[in-house]
Amino acid sequence: MGDILAFTISWIVVSVLGEMGVHALFQKGLYYYTATTQAVDGEAAFAFILTILTPVFAFIVVMIIYSMIRFRARDQEIRPSRKQFYNNKAFVSIWITISIVLNLMFFVHPTASAVEQMFNSERARYNSHDLIVNVTARQWQWFFNYPQYNIAQAQDSNGNSILYLPANRTVKFVLRSYDPMHTYDPYIGVVHGFWIPAFGLKQDVIPGETRYLYVHTTKITSFEVNPMVRVQCTEVCGPGHPFMEAPVHIVSSSDFLKFVKQQQQLQAQQS
């Protein structure tokens, strides 16, 4: 009985300390930098799971350490342990029940509930105010095209692709993988991964398919403010894979319109 009591007390203490540590991590931001509602939702799911699992983790770790200290053999002589038991129905039943209940709960929340939230954010497309950005991935470059504004390829003065988005808008990315410069070669498309670390989600870009990704931007920020605000390819796509990035700028609506004007002018000059 004494061991069970001592173990339980240590377990509770460690769990409480663990929860405090985990909580301190949440305060700092688990995802380090978030710029969309999707990222915030993901972070919340992450935090929820960690919170629940901390006592479970503590249980096993304290159990290992407690047994290591308390039940270690104290002398060289090898003899059977004085306590021998093959089972403990109560303990096993509690263990199994808790693990089933925990998993069912995780499935309902955050798994199903958070996926549901993603569906809902996609339903925002019926709102028709979405900004549509066509994203084309080729080896090894991103192209951003704004069909609503007749921008064929957003670029800076050096001809590098750039992505500008207005803050507090729902953005619909239309993702395709092919090479606009070699459309005649069907073997050239490979899988890329479209990821903006600060946006909290990614989507693979598959040759021969069109995929969508919805985000809702929450703040004005840019690659200069935080390097996590960048487009990054995450699926290995050949030797150029590490270089497949593009800076992202999230700006106010008026700045966004300035960007649009400037791009339209640039395009007019080039054609």
Instruction: Enumerate binding residues for Cu ion (CB under 5 A).
Output: 192, 233, 237, 241, 244
Is 110 or 189 the residue whose CB approaches Cu ion more closely? 189
Residue from 6, 13, 17, 60 touching another protein (CB under 8 A): that is 60
Neighbours of 14 (CB within 10 A): 18
**Contact partner, 110, from Cu ion, another protein, none, Cβ < 5-8 Å per class:** another protein
67 binds, options Cu ion, another protein, none, Cβ within 5 to 8 A by partner type:
another protein
CA distance 53 to 31: 18
Token reading at 30 = 């688990």
Is residue 46 part of the contact set for another protein (CB under 8 A)? yes
Residues 54 and 47 sit within 8 Å (Cβ to Cβ):
no
Beta bridge partner(s), residue 112: none
Q: Which residues inside 214-243 make contact with another protein, applying CB under 8 A?
A: 227-228, 230, 232-243
> Could you give the string, one character per residue 182-211, with x where binding to another protein holds by CB under 8 A and - elsewhere?
----xxxxxx-x-x-xx-xxxxx-xxx---
- If you search the block for the tokens 């069970």, which residue do you land on? 4
Among 12, 32, 258, 270, binds another protein (CB under 8 A): 32
**CB of residue 64 vs another protein: minimum separation in angstroms?**
5
Smallest separation, CB 198 to another protein (Å): 8
Residue 26 is a binding residue for another protein (CB under 8 A): no
Burial class (CB within 10 angstroms; exposed 0-12, middle 13-18, buried 19+) of 86: exposed
96 binds, among Cu ion, another protein, none (CB under 5 to 8 A by kind): another protein
**Residue 112: how many other CB atoms lie within 10 Å:** 11
Contact 238, 190 (CB under 8 A): yes
For the chain, the C-alpha Rg in angstroms (whole number) is: 26
Q: Does 30 bind another protein (CB under 8 A)?
A: yes
| Min separation Cβ 236 and Cu ion, Å | 5
Would you say 45 or 220 has its CB closer to another protein? 45
CB of 93 to Cu ion, least distance (A): 49
Contact 39, 201 (CB under 8 A): yes
Residue 17, interface with another protein (CB under 8 A)?
no
Pairing between strand 221-222 and 192-196? unpaired
Among 1, 2, 91, 158, binds another protein (CB under 8 A): 91
Contacts of another protein in 118-157 (CB under 8 A): 118-119, 122
In whole angstroms, give the CA distance from residue 231 to residue 200: 12
> In the beta sheet, which residues pair with residue 163?
248
